[in-house]
């Protein structure tokens, strides 16, 4: 081994000598500075650089934000360079301050020159977020969550943020796999039933399981069903509204305590004129991207979903969304489209993000 290393080392020295000698011709230096300069000029990727050009990469922008809210309540304002609620967001906090119904936030912040809009967030005392984009025009940003023409309030800059971010509860692949083994719902079923209850429950093994997965039939399904609770041995009930299925709720469908309604990409729930989707205690909804809940009526969540988080990355477009009853509050995270004629949250601690 040592002998091989010596041979290589000798060869390397010889090669180095050859390279060194090749740069000299009868003691004449072959390096041509003028030629090298010409090569640089011909190959450099940027041409015609203006020595008087503006190479500034940041600028000062003035933001003015006002809020129309509850009397005497201060709202936190945060301004970002990107949408902070987008999944995987890397939004940077540019400035923050506080404002109320009778004041306006004025703040000067540093922004990249390429930035043409910012995202302004209003956070209330229950940590509910409203975010809106605002264009940068002539070095100024104006955002209104309320009235104009109010007195100035002091502010402070900030460099960090902790906006709640929630990943989708399920992946598309996970739901696709669950659909393969999920039991097709039948009209009139109690999804919390025991296999020994009257009816045809004993014919389906799902009614012996503690965690139960069901799916709405293909096409349009307008049959009613419910979940009465845990007395039949169920600890969790999951109902998938799959791609290509439309579940029409013609009356009040109530799900008690343990039910999650999951609307897959391409699945739809239609709440008819006399219908409503009622979720009580530990029941909640998950609308995946591309899923939808639409209709003439709406959704009612009672007794706070028992700490479960309701999630929408699709479209909810219906008459009302009502949160009431006891409990510690409902968490509702919206990454999609939420269109309502009426939103009423009377349960203390409710968070809408």
Question: Smallest Cα–Cα separation from 248: which of 228, 226, 227, 277?
Answer: 277
Phi and psi torsions of 71, nearest 5°: -60, 130
pTM: 0.56
pLDDT one-digit tens code per residue, 80-126: 998 887 767 788 999 999 988 888 889 999 888 889 999 998 887 77
State how far the Cα of 37 lies from the Cα of 25, in Å rounded to an integer: 22
Residues 169, 333, 165: CA angle, nearest 5 degrees: 70
Give the per-residue pLDDT at 153.
42
Give the per-residue pLDDT at 154.
38
Q: How many Cα atoms are found within 13 Å in the side-chain-facing hemisphere of 300?
A: 14
* Domain boundaries 58-156, CATH class: mainly beta
pLDDT tens digits in sequence order for the chain, 353 residues long:
433 333 333 333 333 333 333 344 444 444 455 665 566 566 656 556 555 555 556 788 999 998 877 777 888 999 999 888 776 778 899 999 998 888 888 999 988 888 999 999 888 777 777 888 889 999 999 988 754 444 434 343 444 445 556 678 889 999 999 999 999 999 999 999 999 999 999 999 999 999 999 999 999 999 888 888 888 999 999 999 999 999 999 887 778 778 899 999 999 999 988 888 888 877 889 999 999 999 888 888 876 555 678 888 899 998 888 877 555 556 778 888 888 888 777 655 566 66
Give the per-residue pLDDT at 256.
74
User: Which sequence spans correspond to the domains of the chain?
Assistant: 58-156, 172-352
Give the per-residue pLDDT at 74.
87
Give the per-residue pLDDT at 276.
85
Question: Smallest Cα–Cα separation from 339: which of 312, 314, 316?
Answer: 316
Maximal CA-CA distance, the chain = 109
Q: State the pairing for strand pair 276-280/252-256.
A: parallel
């Amino acid at each position: 081994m040592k002998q091989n290393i010596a041979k290589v080392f000798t060869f390397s020295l010889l090669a180095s000598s050859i390279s060194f000698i090749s740069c000299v011709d009868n003691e004449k230096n072959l390096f041509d500075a003028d030629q090298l300069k010409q090569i640089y000029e011909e190959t450099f990727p940027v041409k015609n650089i203006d020595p008087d050009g503006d190479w500034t990469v940041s600028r000062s922008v003035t933001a003015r934000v006002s809020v129309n809210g509850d009397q005497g309540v201060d709202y936190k304002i945060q301004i970002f360079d990107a949408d902070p609620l987008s999944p995987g967001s890397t939004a940077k906090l540019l400035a923050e301050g506080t404002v109320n119904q009778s004041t306006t936030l004025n703040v000067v912040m540093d922004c990249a020159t390429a930035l043409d809009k910012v995202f302004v967030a209003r956070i209330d005392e229950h940590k509910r977020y409203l975010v809106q984009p605002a264009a940068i025009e002539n070095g100024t940003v104006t955002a209104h969550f309320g009235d104009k023409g109010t007195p100035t309030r002091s502010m402070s800059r900030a460099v960090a943020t902790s906006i709640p971010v929630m990943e989708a509860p399920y992946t598309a692949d996970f739901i696709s796999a669950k659909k393969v083994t999920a039991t097709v719902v039948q009209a009139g079923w109690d999804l919390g039933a025991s296999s020994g209850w009257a009816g045809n429950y004993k014919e389906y093994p799902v009614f012996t399981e503690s965690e139960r997965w069901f799916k709405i039939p293909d096409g349009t399904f307008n049959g009613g069903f419910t979940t009465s609770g845990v007395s039949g041995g169920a600890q969790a009930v999951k109902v998938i509204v799959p791609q290509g299925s439309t579940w029409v709720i013609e009356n009040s469908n109530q799900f008690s305590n343990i039910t999650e309604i999951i609307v897959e990409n391409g699945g739809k729930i239609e709440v008819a004129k006399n219908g409503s989707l009622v979720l009580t205690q530990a029941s909640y909804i998950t609308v995946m991207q591309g899923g939808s809940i639409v209709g003439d009526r709406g959704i009612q969540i009672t007794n706070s979903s028992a700490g479960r988080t309701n999630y929408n990355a699709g479209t909810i477009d219906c008459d009302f969304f009502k949160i009431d009853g006891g409990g510690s509050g409902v968490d509702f995270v919206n990454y999609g489209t939420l269109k309502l004629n009426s939103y009423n949250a009377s349960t203390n601690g409710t968070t809408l993000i």
